[in-house]
Amino acid sequence: MYKILLASRYLIKRRISYLAFLAVALCVFIVIVVMTVMIGLVSDFKEKNHSFAGDCVVGTDSLVGFAYYADFADEVAKLDFVESTSTVINTYGLINRSGTDVSRGVQIFGIDPKSHSLATGFGRTVHYHKDDISKVFVPAYDTNLPGCVLGIDMAMIRDLRGKYQFGQMPFNTKFSISCFPLTAKGALAKAGAGEINTKTFSYSDVSQSGLARIDSSLIYIPFEQAQLLCGMGGVDKRASRIHIKFKSDVRLGTGTNKVGALWRDYMRKNKDKAKANLFETVTVQTWKEHRRSFVAAMEKEQTVLTVMFSLVGITTVFIIFVVFYMIICHKSKDIGILKSIGVSNSGIIGLFSSFAVFLASLGSCMGVFGGWLFLRKINSIEDWLFARFGFQMWDRSIYAIGDIPNQIELRTVLVIIISAFAACLVGAIVPAWQGAKLRPVESLQVNQL
Amino acid sequence: MSNDKYILQAEGILKSYRMGAAELKVLKGVDFAIEKGEFVAIIGASGSGKSTLLHLLGALDKPDEGVVKFEGKEINWANGKELNRFRNKMVGFVFQFYHLLDELNVQENVYLPAMVSKSVLGWFSGSMVAKNRAKKLLCQLGLDERIGHKPYQLSGGERQRVAIARALMNEPKLLLADEPTGNLDSATGNGILEVFENLNRTGQTIVMVTHDEHIAARAGRIITLADGKVSSS
């Protein structure tokens, strides 16, 4: 009981305790804010990539694509753990807005909007046809033309607050898209002046995936139109990828392995077919593997940040250690007094450990509360800073980041609190142990440990 | 000398300290015995080893050689738990500089030894008894108006009386006082000595260290330390 009494009095009566308390609170606050924002950004980025790719992708990066995809897609669709599939043409071309002479390179996705929305999050990214995704390629004006869905940054300008100004309907404009049609062997399918396939599309919608690179350079067109544009039609039709969505209870790795096994079996069965050589470049990947060049960079940033904060954490432990060392140095006489009335060494360590636990509890509570309050208001604060001083954490006209993530994860909070307790205990126990091992007469005589 | 009438016995006590490379021999073979109920003053010049001897008698330190016996039982080689119990229950210390805890008030300082001897649950059940005893001791020592005060709000004499009350809290068999009046004016010091005399009259064994012969004369017996040994007893 004396430990609780004295520890609480040390906490209240000693001004240096307030410094230790503030050090703990400040560290907890900073780590919670930074980790929440960083984890939020990474999770958001991963979720957007997951939404863009579905769960599993069977396909090739080759612009030639691979043949006999339809039979395989049917086999995959029959698997009991697969919810839906979407076959996609992925190619590159030039886009030119009607009435202008400026062309720019774009990535082109040929999709069936309905199946693609089932297999990926595409349906949630469009603006004008959210309610009926099957009509996303039906233009509002030139109904004779096929529609196209532009990445939102190709169609609109993001304002300084990261918002877009949508009209009631997509504006009336047409785009001509040109591709080099390729044979199954990778050669140009046409020769001479007409070696390029060009088709005009009417702008029918925009897609906002939240992935800057996708939104600024990807255009969706109907699957069949894309197949014709890039020369993948004909006898043995080709496609680039099959995006697959698993049922919710299926583990990503398990499902992908099963699809991989099915693909190997399918290759074996079809190895004698004319264009079986195109199977060689086909891979079966989880969405993470498929998008690894983007996700890995973000994860690496998170790892670097975690390492940096581990270093900050070590510094914090040292600061708390120094503060505790100073407190316990000042209390060496008390240690001697307590020993003279029969307090054991473990009792001394227990006393200062209780002090550390009080400090950690109060510091953590204050830090978590401060962090929660700050994160709750972080976007309002940023808005105010932007309105008053033009300051933004990220320039929204450049970065496709909406609000600053502010959802505190319980797991993160627990890890940070446990770390704060560990830091305080380590900081307290070492000098307390040093003080406790002194003979009582030494503690009473000296003022320094 | 192992007789039941002795509460404390020191046999062949040697104690030295290291001062850099040199070794300073403070006690060079101290022998004496103290009977139950005695009021003994240990007197000697500054640096004669009086305080060192008192610390050894109270198990705050260990001799290099020799034996300290409390009620016939050796205390220097007792384990930590036994020593803690000994310091908590058997002896009470009164120091020259009071050594009160600044964060606690007068009553809390006094009942602290009782708190130390009890577990959390034990304290919840027995705290009223301890608090009442602390109050009673403080009243006996004329500090009933100072119960809720902090040590820094008290005079030197009052602080020393609080220290005496704390030393008596667990009803120890032996009271050890290290220059208890050394930091007080003569009138206040006289008051403290009267407290000791009254306690001794109730049967309390007291060992007091002092360098002042007049103060020592108030004790029932004087042990004189000179050159690290008992020169007269």
| B123 within some domain | yes
Nearest to B57 by CA among B36, B37, B34, B79: B34
The CA distance from A418 to the nearest CA of chain B, in Å, is: 26
The CA distance from B176 to the nearest CA of chain A, in Å, is: 11
Using the predicted structure, report yes or no on whether residue A185 has a pLDDT greater than 70: yes
The Cα A283–Cα A57 span in angstroms is: 8
| B16 within some domain | no
| B14 within some domain | no
Using the beta-carbon criterion (under 8 Å), do A441 and B80 form an inter-chain contact?
no
Identity of the residue in B81, B115, B124 whose CB atom sits nearest the CB atom of A2: B115
Which string of DSSP letters, residue by residue, matches B53-106? HHHHHTTSS--SEEEEEETTEE-TT--HHHHHHIIIIIEEEE-TT----TTS-H
The CA distance from A36 to the nearest CA of chain B, in Å, is: 40
Q: What is the residue range of B51's domain?
A: 37-62+80-232
Give backbone dihedrals phi and psi of B54, rounded to 5 degrees, phi first. Answer: -60, -40
The Cα A355–Cα A337 span in angstroms is: 18
Q: Write the pLDDT tens digit of every residue in A377-386.
A: 988 888 888 8
* Chain B residues inside the 8 Å CB shell of A343: 84, 116
Per the structure, the count of domains in chain B is: 1
The CA distance from B100 to the nearest CA of chain A, in Å, is: 8
Helical ranges in A205-251 per DSSP H: 212-217, 223-229
Nearest to A126 by CA among A85, B81, A134: A134
The Cα A28–Cα A13 span in angstroms is: 23
| A413 within some domain | yes
Using the beta-carbon criterion (under 8 Å), do B116 and A2 form an inter-chain contact?
yes
Give backbone dihedrals phi and psi of A131, rounded to 5 degrees, phi first. Answer: -80, -30
Nearest to A429 by CA among A341, A343, A334, A327: A327
| A54 within some domain | no
Using the predicted structure, report yes or no on whether residue A398 has a pLDDT greater than 70: no
**Whether residues A120 and A6 fall in one domain:** no
Q: What is the mean pLDDT of residues A111-132?
A: 93
| B70 within some domain | no
Identity of the residue in A2, A4, A342 whose CB atom sits nearest the CB atom of B84: A342
**Whether residues A249 and A374 fall in one domain:** no
| B180 within some domain | yes
CA-based nearest residue in chain B for residue A7: B103
pLDDT for the residue numbered B3: 58
- 8-state DSSP, B15: E
| A435 within some domain | yes
pLDDT for the residue numbered A400: 65
With beta carbons less than 8 A apart as the criterion, state whether A299 and A418 touch: no
Give backbone dihedrals phi and psi of A270, rounded to 5 degrees, phi first. Answer: -110, 20
* Chain B residues inside the 8 Å CB shell of A345: 80
Using the predicted structure, report yes or no on whether residue A447 has a pLDDT greater than 50: no
In chain B, residues 157-176 whose CB comes closer than 8 Å to chain A: 166
pLDDT for the residue numbered A193: 62
**Whether residues A326 and A184 fall in one domain:** no
Using the predicted structure, report yes or no on whether residue A181 has a pLDDT greater than 60: yes
Q: Which element (helix H / strand E) includes A149?
A: strand A147-151
Identity of the residue in B60, B86, B101 whose CB atom sits nearest the CB atom of A334: B101
The CA distance from A447 to the nearest CA of chain B, in Å, is: 13
Is B84 in CB contact (< 8 Å) with chain A?
yes
The Cα A3–Cα A16 span in angstroms is: 19
Q: Which element (helix H / strand E) includes B223?
A: strand B221-226
CA distances from B179 to A384, B70, B193, B214 (A): 68, 22, 11, 13
| A37 within some domain | yes
The CA distance from B35 to the nearest CA of chain A, in Å, is: 23
Q: Which element (helix H / strand E) includes A440?
A: helix A440-445
**Whether residues A129 and A274 fall in one domain:** yes
Query: Which band of pLDDT confidence, cut at 50, 70 and 90, is reported for residue A148?
Result: very high
In chain B, residues 101-130 whose CB comes closer than 8 Å to chain A: 101-104, 108, 112-113, 115-120, 123-124
pLDDT for the residue numbered A91: 93
| B13 within some domain | no
| A289 within some domain | no
The Cα A77–Cα B44 span in angstroms is: 102
Query: Which band of pLDDT confidence, cut at 50, 70 and 90, is reported for residue A437?
Result: confident
Taking one residue from A and the other from B, the number of pairs with CB-CB distance under 8 angstroms is 74
With beta carbons less than 8 A apart as the criterion, state whether A208 and A152 touch: yes
Using the beta-carbon criterion (under 8 Å), do A9 and B104 form an inter-chain contact?
yes
Using the predicted structure, report yes or no on whether residue A226 has a pLDDT greater than 90: yes
Bridge partners of B15, per DSSP, are B27
CA-based nearest residue in chain B for residue A441: B60
Give backbone dihedrals phi and psi of B11, rounded to 5 degrees, phi first. Answer: -130, 115
Identity of the residue in A1, A440, A441 whose CB atom sits nearest the CB atom of B118: A1
Angle (nearest 5°) at CA A241 between A235 and A247: 125
Query: Which band of pLDDT confidence, cut at 50, 70 and 90, is reported for residue A2?
Result: confident
Per the structure, the count of domains in chain A is: 2
Q: Write the pLDDT tens digit of every residue in A276-292.
A: 888 999 999 999 999 88
**Whether residues A134 and A244 fall in one domain:** yes
Q: Give residue ranges of A with CB < 8 Å to any B CB.
A: 1-2, 4-6, 9-10, 13-14, 333-334, 336-345, 347, 439-441, 444
Q: Compute the residue count for chain B.
A: 233
In a mutational test of the B interface, the residue from A4, A5, A341, A439 whose CB has the highest number of chain B CBs within 10 Å is A341
| B151 within some domain | yes
Query: Of A255, A281, A307, which residue sits at a domain end?
Result: A281
ipTM here: 0.89
Bridge partners of A151, per DSSP, are A207
Query: Of A259, A281, A303, which residue sits at a domain end?
Result: A281
| A287 within some domain | no
| Pick from A156-165, A193-202, B110-119, B166-175: least confident | A156-165
In a mutational test of the A interface, the residue from B83, B99, B111, B117 whose CB has the highest number of chain A CBs within 10 Å is B99
Its pTM stands at: 0.72
pLDDT for the residue numbered A149: 95
pLDDT for the residue numbered A35: 83
CA-based nearest residue in chain A for residue B176: A340
**Whether residues A147 and A183 fall in one domain:** yes
**Whether residues A98 and A15 fall in one domain:** no
Q: What is the residue range of A317's domain?
A: 2-46+295-445
**Whether residues A407 and A327 fall in one domain:** yes
With beta carbons less than 8 A apart as the criterion, state whether A31 and A415 touch: no
| A103 within some domain | yes
| A290 within some domain | no
**Whether residues A79 and A212 fall in one domain:** yes
Q: Write the pLDDT tens digit of every residue in A309-359.
A: 778 777 777 877 787 778 777 788 888 889 888 888 888 888 888 888 888
**Whether residues A210 and A304 fall in one domain:** no
Q: What is the mean pLDDT of residues A32-51?
A: 87
pLDDT for the residue numbered B1: 46
Q: What is the CATH number of the domain that holds B131?
A: 3.40.50.300
Q: Write the pLDDT tens digit of every residue in A247-260.
A: 989 999 999 999 99
Which string of DSSP letters, residue by residue, matches A274-293? TTGGGGGG-EEEEHHHHTHH
Using the beta-carbon criterion (under 8 Å), do A13 and B55 form an inter-chain contact?
no
What's the whole-number average pLDDT of chain A?
A: 86
Token readout for A126 is 């469009």
Q: Residue B197 corresponds to which amino acid?
A: E
Using the beta-carbon criterion (under 8 Å), do A444 and B99 form an inter-chain contact?
yes
**Whether residues A263 and A352 fall in one domain:** no
Q: What is the mean pLDDT of residues A46-53?
A: 92
| B22 within some domain | no
CA distances from A220 to A58, A145, A217, A290, A381 (A): 19, 14, 10, 19, 37
With beta carbons less than 8 A apart as the criterion, state whether A242 and A87 touch: yes
The Cα A400–Cα A341 span in angstroms is: 67
* Chain B residues inside the 8 Å CB shell of A340: 58, 60, 87, 93, 95, 99
The CA distance from B144 to the nearest CA of chain A, in Å, is: 22
The Cα A59–Cα A238 span in angstroms is: 11
Query: Of A254, A281, A308, which residue sits at a domain end?
Result: A281
Is B76 in CB contact (< 8 Å) with chain A?
no
**Whether residues A19 and A125 fall in one domain:** no
- Helical packing angle, A410-437 and A332-340, nearest 10°: 70
Q: Along the 233 residues of chain B, how does pLDDT read in single tens digits?
A: 445 788 889 898 898 888 777 888 888 888 889 999 999 999 988 878 888 888 889 888 888 899 998 888 888 767 878 888 889 989 998 888 888 888 899 999 999 999 988 887 888 887 888 899 899 888 888 888 888 899 999 888 888 889 988 988 888 999 899 888 887 788 778 888 888 888 889 988 999 998 888 888 888 899 998 888 887 66
Identity of the residue in A1, A13, A339 whose CB atom sits nearest the CB atom of B115: A1
